[in-house]
Homo-oligomer: A and B are copies of this chain.
Amino acid sequence: MTRKLLISTALLAALPGLAFAEGEAAAHTGFILTSVLFLLGGVLVFWMAAGFAMLEAGLVRSKNVTMQLTKNIALFSIAAIMYWLAGYGIMYPGDWLIEGWLGPFFAVTSLDPVGVAADAVDVGYASGASDFFFQLMFCATTASIVSGTLAERIKLWPFLAFVVVLTGFIYPIEASWQWGGGWLSEAGFSDFAGSTLVHAAGGFAALAGVLILGPRIGKYKDGRTVPMPGSNLPLATLGTFILWLGWFGFNGGSQLAMGTISDVSDVARIFANTNMAAAAGAVVAMIMTQVMFKKVDLTMTLNGALAGLVSITAEPLAPSLFQALIIGGIGGAIVVFVVPLLDKLKIDDVVGAIPVHLVAGFWGTFIVAWTNTDASFGTQIMGFLAIGIFVFVVSFIFFAIIKATMGLRVSEEEEVNGLDTAELGMEAYPEFTNG
């Protein structure tokens, strides 16, 4: 149940018992191959940071593109530092501050997990550094989700301050509840690769931010929603392809083992199911936009693929390909229904991150109980709500404090002129924009 916990004690104890030639050789190969899985998986999830950057840069207007790029490279870099400084130690606690609920802040181990790994954990089932590298990328992904929703009006440094808190503390705490062996994993919650822990968590943080921040100027006018089309759809499409690609590492790597025939076959099933869910999400969104709006909508199709991916993430192994198609397809449908719904509620989510990551994240988490007999619908809902409420409330408080102190939003004039000239003094496309 606690899939992402770094197994070390148990395996360490068991290894001497395996001390005959063949068993040891197999264990060695298994150690190497599982480390390779973490490294390749981590590299693919790293690549998702580029995917989010391109997706968001393509979906904002050109006057805010430099800012969106800056936020994305900055948030990844901050996540890399904060997860090392605090997050990893909180997420995988040796000694809990509060058993099952809160790990130690700034634990000594977290100051140099790699060094520690080389001494102790490496004798376990995979290189400690490879595990750290892989887990770090999930933390960064959570932050990437937030930046799109709040685009085109949030100030740079206040946003980055939130990233510090999210990646150093909020994400690691809620993730420790499940993947760190905490109370949620004890309660029987199931979230294979993070539909809730990563995607819905990012979505709830985004929701808290957007409620405090409010919609962009001119977005809702006289009861109508004014379209603010993205400036570069090839970039948005590239970003989606990058995310789709990276997701093979996200879900496949979460098998957390590749040293046996059984494990590599599971990884392969996960790859096939992940791909199917994405394809189904895209096709359903495409058909539905044709039927409902009489025209295929590319950005909804892209978000449909992403929603399919989020939907399968909570359980990419158990479903058959047909079940993966259903799960992902409904994810795609969610996008088409929820995007207009949010606009009706005047929740201005620039890139559609809330439908894709929060709502499809709920769907994916809930439906685990359909294909995984170890899970129950009730526990799935409970776990989703527990993490959702925690992330939402803490994020809301934090955004409110920032708003009251250093200010969260650029001035009206700066927003109208674009954040690029106002905050950064640098245009993304100085020679292209017409007027």
Chain B residues, CB < 8 A from A43:
44, 245, 248, 271
Q: Given A275-B46, A283-B77, A424-B298, is A54 in contact with B234 using a C-beta cutoff of 8 Å?
A: yes
Please name all residues of chain B whose beta carbon is closer than 8 Å to the beta carbon of A401 when the two chains form the complex. none
- Is the beta-carbon distance between A282 and B77 smaller than 8 angstroms? yes
A275 CA / B83 CA spacing, docked (Å): 12
- CB within 8 Å of B: which A298-356 residues: 298-299, 301-302, 305, 320-322, 325
Given contacts A28-B260, A233-B66, A278 and B77 within 8 Å (CB-CB): yes
Complex Cα distance A325/B22, Å? 41
Contact of A238 among B50, B272, B299, B305 (CB under 8 A): B50
Closest to A28 in B: B261
**Chain A interface SS verdict (over half):** helix
B434–A432 CB distance below 8 A? yes
Among B42, B61, B122, B282, the residue within 8 A (CB) of A265 is B122
Q: Which residue of B lies closest to A332 (CB)?
A: B77
Q: Cβ of A80 and Cβ of B237 under 8 Å apart?
A: no
A432-B430 in contact (CB<8A): no
Name the CB-closest residue of B to A329.
B81
Q: Is the CB of A431 within 8 A of B231?
A: yes
Number of chain copies forming the complex: 3
Contacting residues, chain B, for A238 (C-beta < 8 A): 50, 53-54, 238
**Among the interface residues A54, A66, A114, A117, which one has the most CB atoms of the partner chain B within 10 A?**
A114
A62 lies within 8 A of chain B by Cβ: yes
User: From residue 403 to 435 of chain A, which have CB atoms closer than 8 A to chain B?
Assistant: 423-434
**CB within 8 A of A129: which of B49, B50, B271?**
B271
Is the Cβ of A81 less than 8 Å from the Cβ of B265? no
Segment of A68-76, A146-154, A180-188, A362-370 engaged in the interface with chain B: A68-76
Shortest distance from the beta carbon of A89 to any chain B beta carbon, whole Å: 12
Can you list 12 residue pairs at the A/B interface with Cβ under 8 Å? A73-B302, A73-B305, A74-B286, A77-B278, A84-B276, A114-B268, A114-B273, A122-B261, A127-B261, A130-B265, A234-B235, A298-B426
